[in-house]
Amino acid sequence: MPYVATMNTPGYSPWQDDPPIFDSALDAWRYLRDERKRAEEDTDDDGPYSDTVTTLDTLSLLHGSYGLVNERGEGTVYGDTPGYNGDHDLGIAYCVSWTDETPDTD
């Protein structure tokens, strides 16, 4: 069953026109976890990873954890924007959903 992994600012379209497709929900959650870690590492903050990374990491390991995902592994995790310290952060939505498309095997 193929899954798509998307990131977006809540209320706006996904950041990628052609988001990556994965064979499993777990692979999609791992991708989103790695993208969030990379974004946090690119900021000037040398602190530990955020709670958002911890949640994405848990979802990448345990299918159906915390009631954040449905029985197919679909769900959305919300986090702040790494490195943004202003008053009007809309945050980021990390979403895994089932798709009819097939993964690119290139």
Nearest to 93 by CA among 62, 64, 61, 55: 55
Residue 103 domain flag: no
Q: Does 106 have pLDDT greater than 70? A: no
Per the structure, the count of domains in the chain is 1
Residue 75 domain flag: yes
Indicate the pTM of the whole model.
Answer: 0.82
Please, which residues have CB within 8 angstroms of residue 24's CB and are 6 or more apart in sequence? Answer: 1, 3, 73
Residue 104 domain flag: no
Range(s) of the domain holding residue 72: 3-98
Residue 86 domain flag: yes
For the stretch 61-92, pLDDT in tens is 665 445 567 778 888 999 999 988 888 899 99
Residue 47 domain flag: yes
Residue 54 domain flag: yes
Residue 106 domain flag: no
Residue 105 domain flag: no
Give me the DSSP letters along 22-86. ESSHHHHHHHHHHHHHHHHHTSS--SPPPHHHHHHHHHHHSTTGGG-B-TTS-EEEEE--TT--S
